[in-house]
Amino acid sequence: MSTPTKPATTGPASEAASAPESAYGYRAGRTLPLRVELVRQLKRRRTLVMGAILAVLPFVLVVAFAIGGEPEGPGDRITLMDTATASGANFAAVNLFVSAGFLLVVPVALFCGDTVASEASWSSLRYLLAAPVPRARLLASKLAVGLGLSLAAMVLLPLVALAVGTVAYGWGPLAIPTGGSLAPGTAAQRLVVVVAYIFVSQLVTAALAFWLSTRTDAPLGAVGGAVGLTIVGNVLDAVTALGHWRDL
């Protein structure tokens, strides 16, 4: 006499075990594309205001030179500022020189420090995560767009300055304060190197701002904290009495 076999169970437990881990058609790599995040950030008012400030700076310097006359250095020493009106290339170099210390720090801290904290303050971050967008992809997309906008801000300033300087002072070689000059093509390449150097040097500020942005829901705190710590670091780096402690 054969032993009766038990029918296969088709209850909720077996159905849950055989269910797929994610919904059909869901691909984590397709959530929150970079272009979507980029468009969202470009439409932000702070992005437009920051771009306008950087674009207006060359016009302010042109007006300042027109009112105050030719820039003059102390004594017989010739500085980069003295050559600002020599050509459009010199004017672009001067704009980078006067803005690299502080002004270009602000867009980096703004674009990288405001991106997550602002979403958290608006309570819209939870909806992005419920989409569902993986946390790693969300942070990677926001950091990539923040760095891209920071680089765009650093490129915008010399481009506008070069155009404004060329109209105001003409197209010509880059006059070097120590003597000699660089051809316009060579000068353009050197300006690209300078922009790349400034961008790399600001990566610490970008990382600090982005980290603070993930730790607070106050955008001003993340941006201001990154700018403040960067300024403090630059001040301490200028104190030669600290010796090797400045390298820490």
pLDDT value at position 210? 94
pLDDT band for 67, please (50, 70, 90 cuts).
Answer: confident
Confidence of residue 91 (pLDDT cuts 50, 70, 90): very high
Q: What is the pLDDT of residue 196?
A: 96
Over residues 166-179, the pLDDT tens digits come to 999 999 898 888 88
The span from the first CA to the last CA of the chain, in angstroms, equals: 85
Residue 172 DSSP SS3: coil
In a 10 Å sphere around its CB, with 0-12 CB exposed, 13-18 middle and 19+ buried, how is residue 211 labelled?
middle
Give the C-alpha separation, 113 to 210, whole Å: 5
Please determine, for residue 2, whether its predicted confidence score (pLDDT) is greater than 90.
no
For residue 245, count other CB atoms closer than 10 A to its CB. 9
What local confidence, expressed as pLDDT, does residue 1 receive?
A: 46
Per the model's pLDDT, the better-predicted residue between 13 and 82 turns out to be: 82
Q: What is the pLDDT of residues 108-165, one digit of tens each?
A: 999 999 988 887 777 776 666 666 777 788 888 899 999 999 999 999 999 999 999 9
CA–CA dist 114, 112 (Å, integer): 6
Spatial distance between the Cα atoms of 207 and 210, rounded to a whole number of angstroms: 5
pLDDT tens profile 197-246: 999 999 999 999 999 999 888 889 999 999 998 888 888 877 777 767 76
| DSSP classification of residue 74 | S
So where are the chain's domains? 31-239
Q: How many helices (DSSP H) and strands (DSSP E) are in the chain?
A: 11, 2
Please report, rounded to a whole number, the percentage of residues in the chain having pLDDT higher than 90: 40
Instruction: Check residues 22 and 121 and name the one with the higher pLDDT.
Output: 121
Phi-psi region of 78 (alpha: psi -120 to 50; beta: other; left: phi over 0): beta
